[in-house]
Amino acid sequence: MSKVSETSVRVRYGETDQMGFVYYGNYALYLELARTELIRQSAWSYKQLEAEGIQLPVVNVNMKYKKPAVYDDVLHIRTKIIGEINRKICFYSEIFNAQNELLLKGEVELVFMDKHLKKVINCPDIIKEKMKPFQWS
């Protein structure tokens, strides 16, 4: 059975807009936090990937806002990998509040890139194996 990475974050005052809601652009930061934690839970880290000469630039983001988060909410983010891991990797996340209400669904697609050649590459097999437990088909 595939695993889901779970992480939480508390909304800070500076992340809200004049209406008191989390500013829409900050959800991308929450999704970044979630995928960073998933990678860490798979026994890797962005720092290790970059030390190996691999970068993961974002090439596509899709977010569906369902309900706003507000200051001091504790957000719970569930993340998994969807689709095949080849030259790209796609993270799917859902953000919930403390009442377990769905606030956002988001997908972030990244490509594996050689840091020195600035060229898209295939995901190394060792990384693919480490991330496999979080992969949903």
Residues classed as catalytic: 17
What is the pairing mode between strands 74-82 and 135-136?
parallel
- What whole-number distance in Å separates Cα of residue 95 and Cα of residue 78? 7
CB 112 within 8 Å of CB 49: no
- What whole-number distance in Å separates Cα of residue 11 and Cα of residue 21? 10
- What whole-number distance in Å separates Cα of residue 48 and Cα of residue 12? 29
The residues, any chain, with a CB within 8 Å of residue 90's CB and separated by 6 or more, are: 81, 82, 83, 107, 108, 109, 110
